[in-house]
């Protein structure tokens, strides 16, 4: 999906639902969001989507509240943008440039930010820039406790 279409969809959702909260949006679409105490190295979040079953987003509760919101927005992007069976477990450097990861990252950034927050249009953000924005906002709770 082209960047401007993703951003347009996000803007429509924000206007129609009067929120940019990924949890509220997920609930509106019947997507269950679960916070899990998962002790698997590198596990942040995943979307599980199988035909005939409700879509479920699982988020590792070890991450800070703002991080869980960012992760939820990213997974919501997968849930709303990608058809068919989705079960994402491994997001590494080799696949961050895949179209599904780019689209989910753009969806999350567009949902949680405004156009004015950046020096360039959001549709011009490439995979690497989007990944850096996401990574800067995803951290485990204990890392930043005062």
pLDDT digits (tens, 9 = 90+) for 80-132: 998 865 555 545 444 545 788 999 999 999 999 999 999 999 999 999 999 99
Task: For the chain, list the domains and their CATH numbers.
Answer: 3-138 (1.10.10)
What's the average model confidence in pLDDT over 33-56? 89
Q: What is the average pLDDT value for the chain, to the nearest integer?
A: 88
Greater confidence, 139 or 87?
A: 139
- Cα 22 → chain centroid: 8
- What does the pLDDT read at residue 86? 58
What percent of the chain stands above pLDDT 70? 86
* Residue 17, CA distances (Å) to 20, 22, 145 in order: 8, 11, 33
Of all helices (H) and strands (E), which one includes residue 66?
helix 65-81
| Spatial distance between the Cα atoms of 32 and 55, rounded to a whole number of angstroms | 6
Task: Indicate if the pLDDT at residue 30 is higher than 60.
Answer: yes
* CA nearest neighbour of 139 among 69, 56, 51: 69
DSSP state of 82: -
CB under 8 Å, gap of 24 or more: what pairs does 92-101 form?
A: 96/127, 96/128, 96/131, 97/127, 97/128, 101/127, 101/131
pTM of the prediction?
0.87
- What does the pLDDT read at residue 41? 79
List Cβ neighbours of 87 (8 Å cut-off, separation of 6 or more). Answer: 46, 47, 48, 49
| Spatial distance between the Cα atoms of 76 and 23, rounded to a whole number of angstroms | 9
């Amino acid at each position: 999906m082209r960047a401007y279409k993703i951003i347009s969809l996000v803007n429509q959702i924000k206007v129609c639902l009067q929120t940019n909260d990924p949890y509220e949006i997920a609930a509106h679409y019947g997507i269950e969001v679960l916070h899990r105490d998962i002790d698997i190295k590198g596990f942040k979040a995943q979307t599980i989507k199988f035909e005939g079953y409700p879509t479920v987003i699982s988020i590792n509760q070890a991450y800070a509240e703002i991080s869980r919101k960012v992760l939820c927005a990213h997974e919501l992007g997968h849930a709303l943008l990608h058809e068919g069976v989705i079960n994402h477990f491994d997001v590494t450097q080799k696949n961050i440039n895949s179209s599904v990861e780019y689209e989910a990252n753009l969806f999350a950034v567009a949902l949680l930010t405004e156009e004015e927050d950046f020096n360039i249009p959001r549709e011009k953000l490439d995979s690497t820039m989007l990944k850096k924005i996401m990574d800067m906002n995803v951290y485990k709770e204990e890392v930043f406790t005062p």
